[in-house]
Structures are given as C-alpha cells and as structure tokens.
Structure 1
Amino acid sequence: MAQITAALVKQLREKTGAGMMDAKKALVENDGDEDAAIEWLRAKGLSKAAKKSGRTAADGLVAVQVSADGKSGAIVELNAETDFVARNEGFQKALSGIAKAALETDGSLEALAAAPAPDGQGSVDDMIKRMIATIGENMTLRRSAKVSADKVASYIHNAETAGMGKVGVLVALSGSGDLEDIGRKIAMHIAATSPAAATTAELDPNLVETEKRVLTEQARESGKPDNIIEGMIKGRMQKFFKEVVLLEQPFVMNPDQTVAEYLKGEGATLNGFVHFKLGEGIEKAADNFADEVASLTKGS
C-alpha cells in the first residue's frame, strides 16, 4: 500500500475540487495512483473538475500565420514566465517571426527549433536563448503545428496584437463557397467549444475508454438491471461524443444543426484543425501565501 501523504491529498484536491476526506479516500482506494483516483472521484460524482483538460499555468502567447496564397497555416506557442514579458514588443516581434518561419517547416517542433532565426543569426532555438539572456526570464518554444488545404482560415480569441493572443485556431477546408468566411466561423466555434477531435474515429482511444469506464461505474451504482445499464451507457456515450467531437457538436451560430450539417450545406469539407490554448496542460506550483509571508518575516 502506497503512503498517502498530506501533499498527495492536497494535490488531488486542487486538481478535482473534491473534499479533503473524499480525496484521501480516493487515493486509499486506488493505492496512491492519482489518475485512477481522479477517475474514481468522477465515477462517484465527487469531482468538480471532471472536464478539465489542464490548468492554464504558463504565460506567453499563441501566434498564427497563414501563407499569402491562403493554402497553408502555422500555429506556434511561445511561453514566458510572466505576462509582462508576453506584452513586450520585442517578444511579440520575435514570436511573429517564429510563426512565419514555421510556415517553411513541416510543422514539427524539432524542425521549427532548427529553422533559420528570423533575425538571421543562427537557428530559432539560438534566438530564443539570446532572448532569455537579454530579458532574464525563461522562455520555452512549447509546440507548433501546420495545416494545408484549399483554404486555411485562422482565428485568435481576444488578440493581444495582430495574429497572436491566448487562444489560436487554424481550420483547413476544401470545397466551394466562401471558404474564408466558413473557416473563420468554424474556427470561432472551436475556440468556444474546445473539441477533442474532428470525428469520433479520431478521438484518443484512452479518452474514450476512460469515459466509458466512468459512465459504466455511474450506471451500475443506479442498481438497475444489466440490460438497462447497457442502454444507459450507450446513450451517455453518444452525448459525450456530441460534446467533444467537432463535427457532431451543435454549431454555436445555429444550434439547430451540427457542424457537419453546416459544412455540408455550405459545400465545404473539413480537412483538419488545430487549437492551441496558452499553457493548456501545464501546471505551475502555487505558493502558499502564509508560508511566503512567514519566510519573508523570518529572522526579523
């Protein structure tokens, strides 16, 4: 049996919003396995953060760049320690150059880091190291991606400046109609709903299996017969897919139709999308205010 420490309990509470005793019991029941404890809390209906994909705990900006012919687009996330640095004109100019450089790569982070720096001195990775030395704050080129199609549309939610902000989306489309307008509307929808995948087939199998286990456990606690439980699980999984699969989601600009129905009506086909939310999935340790004050006054 793993040792269940106060620190483990505190960490689980912060991630799920569960009560102290519930968090401790979840860890005890799952031999200290945090992921299993989170799933256990969800199944018991005790987690207040069941849908969270991660806590936004890093500053910086997300930038998008679309090629002149509109057929390809790149998206990049550059992290910094503080929002103060992210608002700096030099940081933003560097990120804009990095996003343009990403258009000339295959979209991978490795290729972008090795690409020629926008300032002409070494690689992108070299430039970031120089920025760190100059500004005195750590920075990380966290991720990048690239999409191509007949038309690529981009969207930045709450833009800090042109082409960059906290949330960025690229949508790749083919077909007829005003693909720029269609793509922008789909990109805005994605920013609002954060779909996990374009289609059910593209969903992470682990995500699907975890959801099914949680729903199965919840259904069994109802005490109903197995044949009824099977129907309950099937119905709840269908609801889950409508929540997280882009093409099955109700279109935010017309909830009476799905995204797939909207695209079909416009004569457009979705070829892919990328959605970056700044700091998604990164956790930053939160200092205890009382401990901080105590450390400052110690010895005074």
Structure 2
Amino acid sequence: MSITAATVKELRERTGAGMMECKKALVETGGDIEAAIDAMRKSGQAKAAKKSGRIAAEGAVVIEVTDDGKHGVMVEINSETDFVAKDANFGAFAAAVAKTALASSAADAAALVEQPLADDPATTVNAARETLITKVGENVQVRRLVRFDGVEGVLYSYRHGLRIGVVLELVGGDAVLGHDLAMHIAASNPVCLSADEVPAEQLEREREIFRAQALESGKPANIVDKMIEGRIRKFMEEVTLLGQPFVKDPEQTVEKLLKQAGASVRRFARVEVGEGLEKRSENFAEEVMALQKD
C-alpha cells in the first residue's frame, strides 16, 4: 500500500527514528503506526514512543479553584507563538475564560466558548476570542477544559510557568502536602493514580515489548520471565502516581508519603500546553522530496 509523507512524519516525530527507518517500518506493518512503533521498540530502533505526539503548540494553562476548594477548572488556551502567549491581552483573555468556566456548567471547551464571558456578559467567550485574534494577529483557540465538581476532599493546584497545570483532589492532609503533590505530578507526569487503573491492553502491550527485548539477550526462559516481571514492576512505578518516588524525597514513594500523612489522592489532572498538537516543520518539504526519491 502507499505510505504517505504525513504518516512517515508522524511516526518520525513519535519515535525519534530516521525517515527511512520509519518508512520501512510502515511498509512492513501496512501503514499501521501503532504496530510500527511496537516493532521499532522491539528492535531497538525507536528512541522513544511518545504517546501524545510531539508537543509544539504555544499558549497557556489557566486554573481557577473556589476558596473552599470544592470546585475547580483547568483550561488550555493555544496561540501560535510563545510571544503572544506572554502578551497582556492574551493573559487577560485566558484569565476571563477560566473565571467563566468556573462560574458555568460547561462540560467541555466546545460548550465553554458559547458561554457569556464572566467579565462582560454581553459577549461570549468565542466573540472575545475573535476580538483577541484581531488584536494579536494570531489564531487563538480554547482547546481543553477539565472540571472538578462533586469534590469530597479539597482541591489543590500548581502551575509551572504558563505551560503545565495540575489540579488534584486530596482527602486528608494539608495545604503543604497538596501543593507538594501537585508539584510532583507536574514534574513526574504520572499516567494514572494506581496500578489497578493501568489499562489491561496497555500492560499486555508493554509485556510483549519487554518479552521481545528480553529474548534478544539469549538468556534461558526462566531468566527471561524474571526480566519481564522486573521491567513490568518498574513500568508500573513509572506510570502510577502512588508508585513513583516522591520528587522531594526519592527514598519514599508517594504511596508511603500519603500513608504517613493519613491522606489519599482521589483524582488528579495534568494538562501541558500543546500535547498531541503538531508543529509546523520548515524543512519538511525537503524531507518529502528525499522520501519520494527513495
């Protein structure tokens, strides 16, 4: 089947492998990107399989939480350049959108942009966005909204610069612990809270990849099985919040930290600007030409 340049480009960005290696992997897997990534990881060609794709878009994450910590929102707003993301007009718009999200019942970004702007009910979020585009000369989008309602504990948040935002619900503990855990999540980027939340299909996929890698060592089957289980344990520690070493004290896990404090994390969300969005490549035309010559 025909493999498009765009497909090759996506695989290259997600693996860090060379263009020709990506094209070959796609040909061998009939154009299936996920299967190509697995095959490249098994053979050691892929430098990294970035699940969300290359992070490239600019903008800001804004957070609003009520004083009692029982309601909160986190919104991602994108711009084309970092320069505009730091512009005062963009910042004022982002703050107004977060305030609007908290005051409304909008479930997602599509519903949010139709809401009356909290600072100016005569206009909608979308109308204010269009006005901002005229001012800054760049496309601006309200991309994501994460809501925290029905809170049993207390919400704590952390924002790293403009690009990363975290909101978590902590039951028990105190504000210091809540802030530290939110900061930890920003730094360590756990996929989920605990081991039982890791999707079975993802776990089996990793197990197969580890098996292929272990078999390359030529060791006996019983040793290979132990190697696989060891790598699975390490994988679970890396992707779950409770299994991760606490950033401020790597000698203990987050789970142990919470037990000592008599606290628990009920849920959390981490949003990073541009996750899954593709950056324009100025040299991609040259790469396409080289690909066509192959």
TM-score range, shorter chain: 0.7 to 0.9
Confirm whether residue 250 of structure 1 aligns to residue 245 of structure 2.
Answer: yes
Moved more, 10-19 or 253-262: 10-19
| Partner residue, 2:74 | 75
Whether contact under 8 Å (1:152, 1:180) holds in the other structure is no
Q: CA deviation at 1:285?
A: 2.3
Q: What is the CA RMSD across the aligned residues, in angstroms?
A: 2.3
CA distance in 1, matches of 2:153, 2:15: 42
CA distance in 1, matches of 2:9, 2:157: 40
Confirm whether residue 168 of structure 1 aligns to residue 170 of structure 2.
Answer: no
Partner secondary structure for residue 271 of structure 1: strand
Whether contact under 8 Å (2:17, 2:47) holds in the other structure is yes
Structure 2, gaps ≥5 residues long: 287-294
Q: How does 1:52-131 map to 2 (within 5 A)?
A: 53-106=52-105, 108-109=107-108, 110-118=110-118, 119-131=120-132
Whether contact under 8 Å (1:79, 1:140) holds in the other structure is yes
| Partner residue, 1:49 | 48
Q: Percent identity?
A: 46
CA distance in 1, matches of 2:274, 2:228: 33
CA distance in 1, matches of 2:132, 2:209: 46
Q: 1:234 to 1:265 in 2, by over 3 A?
A: same
CA distance in 2, matches of 1:230, 1:105: 53
CA distance in 1, matches of 2:111, 2:23: 44
Q: Which string of whole-angstrom CA distances, capped at 9 and with x for unpartnered residues, describes residues 81-120 of structure 1?
A: 1222211111111111111222234462144233321221
Q: CA deviation at 1:289?
A: 8.2
| Partner residue, 1:218 | 213
Partner secondary structure for residue 218 of structure 1: helix
Q: CA deviation at 1:16?
A: 1.6
Of 259, 262, 265, the match for 1:264? 259
Q: 1:75 to 1:215 in 2, by over 3 A?
A: same
- TM-score, reference length from structure 2: 0.87
CA distance in 1, matches of 2:153, 2:20: 55
Structure 1, gaps ≥5 residues long: 159-164, 292-300
Moved more, 83-92 or 20-29: 20-29
Amino acid at match of 1:61: A
Q: Which string of whole-angstrom CA distances, capped at 9 and with x for unpartnered residues, describes residues 232-281 of structure 1?
A: 22221111010010011011111111101101111211111110111011
Amino acid at match of 1:19: G
- TM-score, reference length from structure 1: 0.85
CA distance in 2, matches of 1:223, 1:184: 47
Q: How many residues align?
A: 282
| Partner residue, 1:273 | 268
